[in-house]
Amino acid sequence: MSQEKKKNLSEFTPFSINSNKIRIGIVVSEWNDHITDSLLQGARQTLLEHGVSEENIVVHHVPGSFELPSGADLLYAMDPTLDAVICIGCIIQGETRHFEFIAQAVAQGIMRVGLDHRKPTIFSVLTTNDMRQAEDRAGGVHGNKGVEGAVSCLKMIALRQELEEKPQL
- Give the separation between CA 102 and CA 40, rounded to whole angstroms: 21
- Give the separation between CA 127 and CA 107, rounded to whole angstroms: 10
CB-side exposure of 99: number of CA atoms within 13 Å?
14
Active-site residue flag, 61:
no
SS3 84: strand
Q: CB under 8 Å to 35, separation ≥6 — which residues?
A: 90, 126, 131, 134, 135, 138
Catalytic member of 34, 60, 98, 117? 98
Question: 121: burial class by Cβ within 10 Å (0-12, 13-18, 19+)?
Answer: buried
Enumerate the active-site residues. Answer: 98
